Amino acid sequence: MDLEQLSKEITIDTAATADIATACNKLLDVQKEVTALEDQLKKKKEEELKLSEQDIPNLMQQAGVSAIKLPDGSGVEIKPYYGARIPASRTDEAFDWLRENNFGDLIKNNVSLTFGRNEDNIAKSLVDELRQKGHNVKQAEKVEPMTLKAFVREQIEKGKDVPADLFGVYVATRTKITTKE
């Protein structure tokens, strides 16, 4: 069969392709709208953070108050906020610091079993023993995010030095608004 004959036998449902094109154009429009809404949300979150961590705490500090209670039961309060996260590129260094400063019990080791606090040496010993026996053991060490955050808060509140860059320390004052429901 030659190409000319073949082209006469092929039929295209133009109504179906028009429906596909319309749906694709609608998808593109919706995707653009989603992107625009995500950008708006990002800007609103930045605005919220500035109001919560800068504007309102500054105004309340200028007024000499840390909390305000209103007659209807609602209130405004500013409190310290602590955040911490060990950068992936500095994990070994952060773990070394914790161990050297007697906080090694914050580190958890996972070797198919979950080792808790104060079991650092047991985990390493077992991993070494299993590797010597020819087993392909994977060891994962980590500090739970909430544990790290609590540790950083505790150390800062005690006036102790914690390497801010090593633990991604973030300290701010945040506003909490309670409403009477």
Question: What integer pLDDT is reported at residue 9 of this predicted model?
Answer: 66
Band (pLDDT 50/70/90 cuts) for residue 139 is confident
Tell me what pLDDT residue 112 has: 63
Tell me what percent of the residues of the chain surpass a pLDDT of 70.
90
Closest CA to 122 of 141, 103, 135, 95: 141
Average pLDDT, integer, range 67-94: 92
> What average pLDDT score do residues 113-137 get?
82
Average pLDDT, the chain: 88
